Structure 1
Amino acid sequence: MFLNDSEEMIKRSHITSDTIIINQCDEDGYKEEHIGDAFVRTFSVKERGLTKSRNLAISKSVADVCIICDDDEVFSQGYEEAVQNAYSSLPQADIIIFDMAGRPHKWGDSIKKLGYRDIMSVSSWQITFRREKLLAKGIRFDENMGAGSGNGAEEEFRFLTQCRKAGLKIYHYPYELATVAQTQSTWFKGFDREFFVNRGNTTRYIMGLPLSVLYAAYYAFAKRKQLTDISMFKAFSYTLAGIKENRLNKLKKGNN
């Protein structure tokens, strides 16, 4: 995305709140502008990686509550007030997970405090958070994961797991925040060997060794009807190979 695309994206996404755009391109730059009701600050950076852009946005934000947004997201009319009302009604919540239009509402119409199993299925588009609570706990998105890292996805699960470990409270609030087109994934190229090896690495990194092996068996079985090029048993074996490789834990130790 280039700097002059900011207005197009804001209007396409129906954004009315103050916004930070991280523009990963071949030059560094900054501009600020009013687009409709939104005050928009765009930071252009040469650095690549989805989680790096999210962390930069958090560091540049001055908002009390932040909403994660991808460029294929279209917000519901009145979303800003709805999010504010949700946090007012849940003053104990540090993170609130909303619903997406056209996608399953896993927790129905209930306000629910989310546990470990719940957060496994949360996507980034659903996540909002109190920024100061994250900063106080030193929590960021793990830059060893996510699109552009070469290590697969699951960065949202890692993020929310770290939030839970730090004692932050995560709730679901029944409101359709936006719709997401997601016509083409930037990282998912199909259920192939690379996908399952990366998944083995990420699940061991997040869950530890015993749980990741159990989850590998469950996941291969759960996805068996979607596997066209490899068998369920191959999928399981590739995931075990990733678990054994343990690349992310080794990478983290090497960076410490």
Structure 2
Amino acid sequence: MSRIELLVSGVKQNTDELPIKMNIQSDAVIVNQCDEDRTVRVEYKDKSGRENTIRIFDRNERGVGVSRNLALDNTDHELLQFTDEDIVLDDGYTEKVEKEFDSHAEADMLLFNVKAAPGRETYHNTDFARVTWKNYGRYPAYAIVARTDKIKAAGVRFSTLFGGGAKYSNGEDSLFLHDCLKKGIRIYRTDVSIGHEVSERPSTWFKGFNDKFFFDRGVLYHFLYGRLAGLMSLRFIIVKRKEMCREKPPLECYRLMLKGIKQGKDED
């Protein structure tokens, strides 16, 4: 049994082809949001000839947080690695991940480099360093590998309010890392690369810098910053106004975020 188990979130995927497409070389749990409910366990031989166990959960439900939590509930390996259907993993990623964890006993979680499709880049690690409250917010879930016992002991879950298929737009990744830090999970970044994103599919949530974008960002900021949400929203508008406030005056964008903050309080 491999030390690593991939936790794959997908939507309407051909799960027979997915392990090949993603270059899976370890055991995996695949949660596939589709129009049926079934659970299948298959033995998959990767291109190196190694046998891997793939557990497939087809579920007639929506929400990336729901699917990630189902995968999290069903993993039992030493290390868990979140990833998505449109990530292609590098040959030997298991050895890279295991070596990095073996070299850093101080880390409960490592954030690896996974190259995003052009125009979707949010981060690139150039060193090994601690991730803190100052810099956790730019990492996607598919960068995360963690010691399973630490995550389960902390009881950290993905929010089902945010992300593709959920009520509000993106933010479930940041909220997960936020809650990990809050629970004392020791997070580090590493410059080791383990894969790349291939899909340039349309975003499941981004439809432009419209009313919903700013309102949903306000909801997210309530959960991320609490009583500082209003101040952080103002900072966000000031910093991003040239990029995001071309169609709406900055004051209107800020008011939408304040409305979202109020809605976030009602969601608590």
The two structures share one fold, judged by TM-score above 0.5: yes
Q: How does 1:25-36 map to 2 (within 5 A)?
A: 25-36=34-45
Matched, 1:142 2:151: no
Change (3 A) 1:65 1:206: same
The two structures have a TM-score, normalised by structure 1, of 0.89
Deviation at 1:106, TM superposition (A): 4.4
* Map of 2:214 onto structure 1: 196
Equivalent in 244, 250, 255 of residue 266 of structure 2: 250
Report the secondary structure of 2:138's partner residue: coil
- Residues 44 and 53 in structure 2, CA contact (< 8 A), matched pair in contact too: yes
- Residues 65 and 129 in structure 1, CA contact (< 8 A), matched pair in contact too: yes
* Map of 2:56 onto structure 1: 42
Equivalent in 95, 111, 118 of residue 135 of structure 2: 118
Deviation at 1:25, TM superposition (A): 1.9
Report the secondary structure of 1:116's partner residue: coil
Matched, 1:176 2:193: yes
- Residues 144 and 248 in structure 1, CA contact (< 8 A), matched pair in contact too: no
Matched, 1:214 2:231: yes
Deviation at 1:62, TM superposition (A): 1.4
Amino acid in the other structure paired with 1:20: V
The structure with the greater share of residues assigned to strand is 2
- Name structure 1 gaps, 5 residues minimum: none
Q: How does 1:229-240 map to 2 (within 5 A)?
A: 229-240=247-258
Deviates more, 1:151-160 or 1:81-90: 151-160
Amino acid in the other structure paired with 1:73: I
CA deviations over 1:114-146 (Å, ceiling 9, x no partner): 110110111111111111111111111122222
Q: Distance in 2 between matches of 1:22 and 1:42?
A: 6
Q: Percent of aligned positions with the same letter in both sequences? A: 28
Amino acid in the other structure paired with 1:40: I
* Map of 1:17 onto structure 2: 26
Deviates more, 1:183-192 or 1:216-225: 216-225
Deviation at 1:194, TM superposition (A): 0.4
Deviation at 1:52, TM superposition (A): 0.7
Q: Distance in 2 between matches of 1:8 and 1:222?
A: 43
Q: Distance in 2 between matches of 1:222 and 1:175?
A: 30
- Name structure 2 gaps, 5 residues minimum: 1-10, 47-51
The structure with the greater share of residues assigned to helix is 1
- Residues 12 and 32 in structure 2, CA contact (< 8 A), matched pair in contact too: yes
Q: Distance in 2 between matches of 1:27 and 1:160?
A: 31
Q: Distance in 2 between matches of 1:196 and 1:182?
A: 26
Q: Distance in 2 between matches of 1:75 and 1:200?
A: 34
Deviation at 1:104, TM superposition (A): 6.4
Amino acid in the other structure paired with 1:188: F
Q: Distance in 2 between matches of 1:104 and 1:207?
A: 20
Q: Distance in 1 between matches of 2:199 and 2:248?
A: 25
Runs of 4+ deviating beyond 6 Å: none
Equivalent in 168, 171, 175 of residue 158 of structure 1: 175
Q: Distance in 1 between matches of 2:248 and 2:70?
A: 38
Q: Distance in 1 between matches of 2:171 and 2:43?
A: 34
Deviation at 1:53, TM superposition (A): 0.5
- The CA RMSD measured in Å over matched residues stands at 1.8
